[in-house]
Amino acid sequence: MRVLLVCLGNICRSPTAEGILRHKLEQAGLADRVEVDSCGTGGWHVGKAPDRRAIAAAARRGFDLSGLRARQLEADDFRRFDYLLAMDRDNLLALEARCPPDCRAYIGLFLDFAGYENQAVPDPYFGGKEGFEEVLDLVEAGAEGLVAELHQRLGAVS
């Protein structure tokens, strides 16, 4: 099973979601059965580490984002991944617009898995420290819901 988490620049929200989801999959015993990656719909930050504020906020909660590097969405991602999950409606629309007709992947909002239908993970880039904390709260809830979904789909034993 393969999951791709998508935001605009791939330096704040989607790498935070990637790091947290990987951690929670490991805790659930699913890390060897689920591949996780993240990307941005824009290419401004390709090759760069996550925002230092995102790295610091995640580290305070025990999540390591320091080894992640930004990349841009590629056409092949629609074939390689089973789930393409956007952090907000604008990036969801970008995914839908670029989606090839033969795509079989689930494309939706990440927070739908937390029961927050049609809710976005807000972009903390231009805000302060509290924005990164809010992102962590929302992403942890989304990751827990997605792990439960993947657990069920993979028929994993608790």
- Domain made up of 2-154: CATH architecture: 3-Layer(aba) Sandwich (3.40)
Q: Quick one: average pLDDT of 43-57?
A: 96
The residue ranges of every structural domain in the chain are 2-154
pLDDT of residue 127: 87
Taking the C-alpha atoms of residue 64 and residue 42, their distance in angstroms, rounded to an integer, is 23
CA torsion, ordered 84, 85, 89, 93, to nearest 10 deg: 0
Whether residue 128 has pLDDT greater than 90: no
Residue with tokens 């939706």: 108
Across the chain, what does the average pLDDT equal? 95
Query: What average pLDDT score do residues 82-89 get?
Result: 98
Q: How confident is the model at residue 85 (pLDDT cuts 50, 70, 90)?
A: very high
Answer whether residue 158 shows pLDDT above 60: no
DSSP character at residue 111: G
* Catalytic hit among 12, 13, 77, 112: 13
Give the active site residue among 37, 77, 112, 123: 123
Is 7 annotated as catalytic? yes
**Spatial strand order in the sheet of 83-86:** 35-40, 2-7, 83-86, 106-109
